[in-house]
Chains A and B, each alone.
Chain A
Amino acid sequence: MNKFRKNTRKGNPEVSTASLPDIIFILLFFFMVVTVLRQNDVKVNFKLPEASQLDKLDKEDKITIYIGKSKFSNSDKPVIQINDAFAEVSDIYPFLKMTSGGLPNKLNTVLKVDSEVTMGIISDVKTEIRKADQLRISYATMTKNL
């Protein structure tokens, strides 16, 4: 009996908060590591179209082609940006060939196109992608709220 009474009489030991900073730091480091900073500096303005039948896009071997109005000029002519730099339609084929190392269907090409762009330039881009044998592409869209 004595044993039990002894315990209850003692006050609860205080929880040590000395390790709290360490726990928070670990959390902080976790978030810092997980955070992926934007790799591409987007130089074109685009507003993606909305659609409802969506798939998640693969992240491996991703090439992003942006098509939209340039941020640096006032002309309405759509410009093409591959990953990080402006490009012409004719640059797409050598670029894809180089990045894929000549292997067919290695890359996942994501087209981020402004919804006001006309299909002419997109068809040209698609033809270049087909020539480079990278047939898996996807049109990036926003989710449509029904």
Chain B
Amino acid sequence: MFGKKSKKRLPEIGAGSMADIAFLLLIFFLVTTTVVIDKGIKVVLPPFCEDCPTPPVNDRNVFNIKVNGNDEVLIENEISQVGEIRKRMKTFILNPDNLSTLAVRSNSAVISLQNDRATSYDQYIQVYNEIKAAYNELWEEEAQKQFFRSYKDLKLSQKQQVRKKIPMAISEAEPFDLSMN
């Protein structure tokens, strides 16, 4: 009885369905794979020191943005909106009419951002995003003016030249704490 079985030739395994099985696995992996590309705003923080002497900055070169605990925005001590920041920053830095209240030169302007400990992260990012947007627009305009090309197509040395003309200077003060007082 047993001998009979072993004498029989084993049936061949059909390899035709192998492709289908592999296809199913492939599709499974294709569907489950999520390509996550992290995006975000890059920031370089200032180095830490206990009580660094703050370098004296000419008051007219400082563009003050303050955000309070209720997410209200104050630009140069006027109540304002997040959407206003970009336009006002650009006129402040370029100072096209040479007003005595705006920045002396484009490379001496400093943006000062101060927020409350109760400011929401979302509002902070919106404000930071506007500041970055203003700089990006300024660099783009400068690149078009100097090299007749888009900023992102410039060579590294040309980019540095543009950024030397309009350096990104954002100063973040330690947040004030209104809730503690």
Contact = CB atoms under 8 A, between A and B. Distances in A.
Size bracket of the B interface: 35 or more
A72 interface: no
Contacts of B154: none
B22 interface: yes
B29 interface: yes
A98 interface: no
Contacts of B41: 51, 53-55, 138-139, 141
A118 interface: yes
B5 interface: no
Contacts of A15: none
Interface stretch (B72-80, B95-103, B129-137, B157-165): B129-137
Contacts of A142: 39
Interface residues of A, number: 48
B39 A137 contact: no
B15 interface: yes
A119 B117 CA distance: 5
Contacts of B125: 49-51, 115, 139, 141
Contacts of B144: none
Interface string A120-138: 1011001101110101111
A18 interface: yes
Given A21-B22, A57-B39, A139-B40, A120 B118 contact: yes
Contacts of A8: none
Contacts of A136: 42-45
Contacts of B141: none
Contact of B115 (A28, A51, A113, A119): A119
Contacts of A65: none
A56 interface: yes
Interface string A17-46: 110110011011001101100000000000
A25 B18 CA distance: 9
Given A54-B39, A140-B40, A115 B121 contact: yes
Contacts of A49: 121-122, 125-126
Given A53-B133, A133-B47, 19 more contacts: A17-B16, A49-B121, A50-B125, A53-B41, A53-B129, A57-B42, A118-B69, A118-B118, A118-B119, A118-B121, A119-B117, A119-B118, A130-B48, A135-B45, A135-B46, A137-B43, A139-B128, A140-B39, A141-B40
Interface of A: 17-18, 20-21, 24-25, 27-28, 31-32, 34-35, 49-57, 59, 110, 113-120, 122-123, 126-127, 129-131, 133, 135-143
24 contacts: A24-B26, A25-B22, A31-B29, A34-B33, A51-B40, A53-B129, A54-B39, A54-B41, A57-B39, A110-B38, A114-B121, A117-B120, A120-B118, A122-B121, A122-B124, A130-B48, A136-B42, A137-B44, A137-B45, A138-B40, A139-B41, A139-B128, A141-B125, A142-B39
